[in-house]
Structure formats: structure tokens, C-alpha cells
Structure 1
């Protein structure tokens, strides 16, 4: 991990800091996290803060697989944290889309989207039929919803802080502007659109695409953990931009398409995004505006004696689109009042060092960075 570009700044400024890291073998899927007794004692005697970030975010994973990682894995981490002698903060990372059934999400605990009977049935059968009666959201969001309820019900005396990030995207500033190393739903759709692979989607042009730079999420978690818990209640902070500094899906697609045309980085000529509330209309537009051009592009490649690629690329793009369509249909307003108020408690020096106030993000400056970082770290490195 330390060989990644992300750590280049630290290696230059303070390489000795890396020597502080003590790796401990563990596995979310194993009993007691498969942590050796000597390592468990090391943690119980020396740790003061726990940041539980580990989770599966695979949209293709089954419900049972996601629950094993996200739900049962979190329970094991909480059991470990309860044994730590001088614990000051237990910080659990959830997601701002943990309650997709609601249009507004306050910084408060939420209710489970399904009953325990439904959860047990879905785990036993590894099906999501009962969940689909509630929402068409990705199964991942259900697993995080159930885990939030678990954390609230079983935290006991743990000094618990919950961070709910919106869609986490490339770093804005530190430690490396534009750094990202995994595909994320929102910018993934932006870039697939800019490559000319998808130009029709379910939704409305004014729906907010709530994205937040990774360093803003990390800074919020650091400050929240350092300030600690002042109450027996679980502190919850939504890390998002949608209500204070919104960017719509349409605006994001327009900016990415503009950069693609300027820099000539596209597979098929990108067209302006068309959104409709009708799945039938979107399906027909997809055939006409996307599938047929991709088919003709592959035919041209075959005539030149080259391997076809456009239909294959488009299959992935459409899969991504279909997994975010529920987010493009209706804005989910994520309130981040508590996070904003926490930022205001910092002095000027700390506010500059640990920025996480969404109002300080300039989209016209950040979006080109995000666009180029996807090509640099996610596309070109794989060629």
C-alpha cells in the first residue's frame, strides 16, 4: 500500500511516520476476526481510537456476501472495540444512502428498511425478493441500513460516532489532488457518458448527484474522533454536499462531456445526456443513441481487421447506469448541519489543515481534477 502515489508526499516530508504503522492480520469473515491472541492484547492495551472503514461495496455481490462483510463483520469489530481498555472514540463509516426509501436524511439514527424476519429469510435463501418489495436500490444499501441499526442497538457504552459519506470521490487537495483507486458510482457514470457509451438514463435534470472528496470525509472523521463524544447519544455526521453546495447529475455529465471533447478522450462521439422518467423511453433511446452506434463501431473495427470492443465497453457502462438509476430519479436531501457546526468550532489554522465544510468546494475547479484523475489512475494505468 505504501508504494501507491498517495503516500509520495508523506515519504518526502516525514518518511519516519510510516514506521509507526503496525500491521495486524485480520479477516472480517472469520470468528473473532481471526486476530491472534497476542495481537488482540496489543490492540486492547494500546489503541485509543477505532475507525471501522472495512466493508464490501461490490454491487454484484449477493445479499449474503454483503451481510457477512458489512453486518456480521461490523458486529465482530464492535466486540473487539468493547474490549479496548482506554477507548476514546469508535468511528463507524456508513453511507448517506443507508435509508434510500426516505427523501430526507437527518443526522439521526434510522429505522431498518425490513423486519428481522425478512432479513433472516433473505440470509437463509440468499434472495432479495422480500427486499425488492421495499425498494429497487442496490442490495449494498440494504446491508448498510441493517448495519446502522445494528450499531445503534448493540453499541452499549462504546463512545460511538457514525460518519455517513455521500458518494466518495477523488481527493480535492491532500495528500494528492485527484487521487482515487477504485470505481465509484457517480463519477463512473460521468466518465462513461463522456466516453460516448451511455447517453440516456432514467431521472430528472434537477436531481442532485451528491459527491464528496475523499479527503473531506477523512478530515471530518479525524476531527470528530479527536473531539470525542460529549453525550451518551451516538453522534452522527453526514458528509455530503447536496444541501449546501449541490451539483446535479446533468451538470456533472455536461462538464465531463465538455472535457472529453476538449481533450479528445472518448470511444464514441459523446452526446448530451437525455433523462426521462419512463423506463420504456430510456430503453428505446439507449438502442437508438447508444447500442446502434456501438454496433456500427464494432462492425467498422471488424472491417479493418481489428477486435471489436464498443459493445463490450458499453455493457459495463449500462450496468453502471442501471445501478445508479434509483439515485437519479429523486434527490435525497442529506442534511449535514452537525458536520457544518463541527467545522465552525475549529480555529483558522485547523480549518485550513482539515477542511471538510462542503461550502469550500469549487466545482468548476474540482471537476476537471476529478475527470483527469479517473483517466490517470483508473483507465490509463490499466492499459
Structure 2
């Protein structure tokens, strides 16, 4: 039985469909599988009903290909109002009974991906919700498999990570019990001791969730661990993304000229996985687990969804690709000229020094000018958010890991040639430079809502900023020379010679600016 045949006629239940990966999963299921019904859990938010939120999702560019192939696809989608933080997800009795009687496959993608979220909130979002889905699937009469979306960094305190569930320092059920009565302040006080070797509450609670599944879930379950999920490689739209998490924040900050340096090792592996590859693995892994022979005793199967060593991509490569992409597809309305010679360094001292000189100093200066102009200050707070993002990523940009992927290899071997084409998992031949250019264009088009086809306006803006930067540097040097002459720090002939050199350099740079920046056109 191939993948499509397994899912044909079955009803599936998806959580997390308002998130980046959940949207791509829903689109893929509807477009490539002949399922009967797709139930999606959505929470009413900001005065909008679940039907309104679902309609907005389905009208996004992500679903245009699906709408062309299957114009009536919306008829298969049923919105279920609920909240993963409540018992039985707060689902009403009628909807709950429909899920219990009808659903055969569950994809649990709902989670909080905030790195620095308070532990109590992270436990509520990432552990309590898993307990809720376990309780729910135990009631489902037709359930064949549940696919849980974890992260490859759930056990990042290890450098070599196998496709197994690792023990945690506390029992997840015990921590859930404590979370029910502990105040936020109490949990914050013990958070440091609990999180321990983990860099943040996100990876820690994901590890707890895996452990909870292994210990308490009696149904057949698949755990898929993608590394850093990035834009679509092929489907449904190359370069598509709508999440500012991960590298997107770096791409935007650099392209707008805000970010000049970052902490990291150039040779450290940036383990990126295109979102469509991760989704294909989830679908195929569910098929494999559900159709496995009964003699397979394990209820939980782990799949490490990571880039292999055959086609590595480093943080140094990312820095170079972002530089190239910023020239080819410039972002509109940059604050400063992008630092085409931006640095990535493992030295904390150098990093902090460059932040003070290249970020904080200009931010305070710009805010001072805004105050004088009687306008609201914004640059210091903006750079505070960028610095927080960089600090959150520093743990991952300064280290490398190795993940085993024997289960993934075995899965690919069991797939038919047609399934390998439709649900492609192998991306070892990916051209990273071309992919990162499309990723950059996707950020520009789908997140920043800028026209990716027209770069003329952005190019003119960059040229103006380039000339302004040259003029500013020239004025600073001329001012320094004037002071040196005025205070007698240098002979008049030396000052005059340097002045002529600076003036010549400035005008030559202006003449050559078009050719130097012309590559962005």
C-alpha cells in the first residue's frame, strides 16, 4: 500500500494550522491526498470566529495552487473551535464526538516556539497540550497513528543525537501536576535548575513532551524532529514563508541595514530543513508507522529530520548568501546601507564591541535626532529586540551537532518511486545559494509584502544611502583633518595632502557607486 492509498478516504485531525508548518501541512494533505475530511483545531482570537480565521488562511497565496487543482477543496475542511490549554481542548460535545467517531490520523503541530518564554507558559503550551492530545486520541475509535511535531534540538545538550527518546531530569507528569498549583514566580525560581543544560524553555519542554508520549501514550505514535525549518524548497511555492522565526529575522535585519555583526562560528553547521521536506516526512512517517507489521513492538518511532553531512551548509555560508541576496533582491526602505562586509565571529568580546560601535551608538544618535525633531524614539528599542534575537540564536550559531537518521533512510527505502517524487524527503542535492536567494525573495514578498519583481526603487534607495554614507565618512575625516590643522597636531602640507586624497576618493567612489551597487538590479 502506497502513501496515497493509505490516506484515501480517511479523516485527519490537525492542530497548529495557524502556524507556519501547520499551514503547509494542511495544504499538502488537501492537494496530494484524497482524504475524506480535514478537521482543524482553531482558537477564536481578537474578535474573529474560527470560521473567519480559517477563511483568511485558505485565501492566502499558499493555497492558490490547491485552489486551481481542486476548486472545491474548502468543502473538506471543518473548523473545530478549541484551545490546547483546556481539558479536551475545550471542544464542544458535538465536535468532540465527531472526532472520536471519525478520525484515523492525527497531526499534532500546535506549540509555542518562543525561546525565552517563561517556563510555566512553555509547559502549558508544549507539555500540557501533548497530554491533552494523548487523552483525546485514547478515545478515538478509528485512530491508526498520531504524528507529533517535535524539534531536532529537543536534546541539544548532546552533540550526537540518535533517533530515540532520551530521559528527562523530571517526570513530565509530575511537572504538569506542579504547574497546576505553582505560581509564575515560584516556577521562575526553579526554572534555572529544571532547564539545566538546555538553552531555553522551548527545547526543554519539547524534550519533556517526547518523554511524556513514550511513558503515557498507548497508541501508535510518530515523533518527527525537524531542525531549523526554513522556506519551501519546491511546494507549493518555492521560497514561501510567513514566519519571522529562525533565519528570517536575520535576513530582514541584515537586508534593512540594521544588523552588522553576529556571534557565531563560520564553520558551524546551520542545519536548515525546507518546510515542504519536513511536512513530507511527517506524512510518509505516519503511513509507514500505521502500515508496519504487528510484530513491531515499539509504539513510538523517532525521525530526525535534518540536513545530512553530504551537503553541509554553515553559518558562514548563510552570511555570504544573505550578502549576495541583499544585492540581487534588495529590500525596500532600508534604514541603513546593508553591511556587505558584515562579520560573524565566535569572539564574545569582539561581538560586544562591534555591537556598541555599530549598533548601540548609531541607535542612540538616531533617537537623539528624533527627540530633537519631536518625534517618537524607536531605534534603541528596535535594536534591543534584534539583540535579544541574536542572543537567543547564539547557542545554535556557535555549535554543531550530528543526528543519526537511520529511520529516515529506512523510510525512504520502503517508499515507491512515485511516493518518493510526491513526498520527497531527500534534499541532499539542494543548491544552497539558489535556495537562499529564493528564501530572501520569499521574505521580501510574503512577509514584508514587497514586490519582488520590481527592484529598481529599492536599488535607488541603496544608491542614495551609499552616497550618504560616503559623504558622512568624508565629512568625519575632513573634520578630523581640520581639527588636526587647527590644533597644530599635523603640518599644513600633510593636512592638505590628506584632504586632497579624501576628496579624490570620495568623488571616485561616487562615480563608481553605480557599478558597485549595480549587481542588485
- Aligned equivalents of 2:327 and 2:355: distance in 1? 21
Q: 8 Å contact 1:205–1:249 — kept in the other structure?
A: yes
> For each residue in 1:331-361, what CA deviation from the matched residue of structure 2 results, as whole angstroms up to 9, or x when unmatched?
1222333223322332332222111113142
Q: 8 Å contact 1:244–1:358 — kept in the other structure?
A: no
- Aligned equivalents of 1:199 and 1:355: distance in 2? 37
| Higher-RCO chain (CA-CA 8 Å, sequence separation at least 6) | 1
The alignment yields a C-alpha RMSD, in angstroms, of: 2.6
Secondary structure, in 3 states, of the residue corresponding to 1:359? coil
- Aligned equivalents of 2:89 and 2:438: distance in 1? 38
Are 1:111 and 2:167 matched, yes or no?
Answer: yes
Secondary structure, in 3 states, of the residue corresponding to 1:15? coil
Are 1:211 and 2:272 matched, yes or no?
Answer: yes
Aligned to 1:53: 109
Aligned to 2:82: 26
Residue 90 of structure 1: which of 146, 152, 164 is its match? Answer: 146
Q: 8 Å contact 1:202–1:276 — kept in the other structure?
A: yes
Aligned to 2:258: 197
Aligned to 1:147: 209
- Aligned equivalents of 2:143 and 2:175: distance in 1? 32
- Aligned equivalents of 1:36 and 1:107: distance in 2? 37
Aligned to 1:129: 192
1:29, CA displacement in angstroms?
1.0
- Aligned equivalents of 1:114 and 1:169: distance in 2? 32
Q: 8 Å contact 2:329–2:441 — kept in the other structure?
A: no
- Aligned equivalents of 2:261 and 2:195: distance in 1? 24
> For each residue in 1:156-194, what CA deviation from the matched residue of structure 2 results, as whole angstroms up to 9, or x when unmatched?
2x1111100111111111112222221122332243234
Aligned to 2:488: none
- Aligned equivalents of 1:162 and 1:257: distance in 2? 36
- Aligned equivalents of 2:172 and 2:247: distance in 1? 31
Gaps of 5+ in 2: 1-56, 451-521
> For each residue in 1:286-309, what CA deviation from the matched residue of structure 2 results, as whole angstroms up to 9, or x when unmatched?
112222244445556677887665
Residue 226 of structure 2: which of 150, 155, 165 is its match? Answer: 165
Q: How does 1:1-383 map to 2 (within 5 A)?
A: 1-113=57-169, 119=175, 123=179, 124=182, 125-127=186-188, 128-131=191-194, 133-135=196-198, 137-156=199-218, 158-229=219-290, 230=292, 231-233=296-298, 234-265=300-331, 266-271=334-339, 272-298=341-367, 309-380=378-449
CA 1:207–1:90 in structure 2 vs 1: closer, same or farther (change >3 Å)? Answer: same
CA 1:379–1:13 in structure 2 vs 1: closer, same or farther (change >3 Å)? Answer: same
- Aligned equivalents of 1:306 and 1:54: distance in 2? 40
CA 1:291–1:280 in structure 2 vs 1: closer, same or farther (change >3 Å)? Answer: same
Aligned length: 380
TM-score, scaled to structure 2: 0.68
CA 1:187–1:338 in structure 2 vs 1: closer, same or farther (change >3 Å)? Answer: farther
Gaps of 5+ in 1: none
CA 1:30–1:361 in structure 2 vs 1: closer, same or farther (change >3 Å)? Answer: same
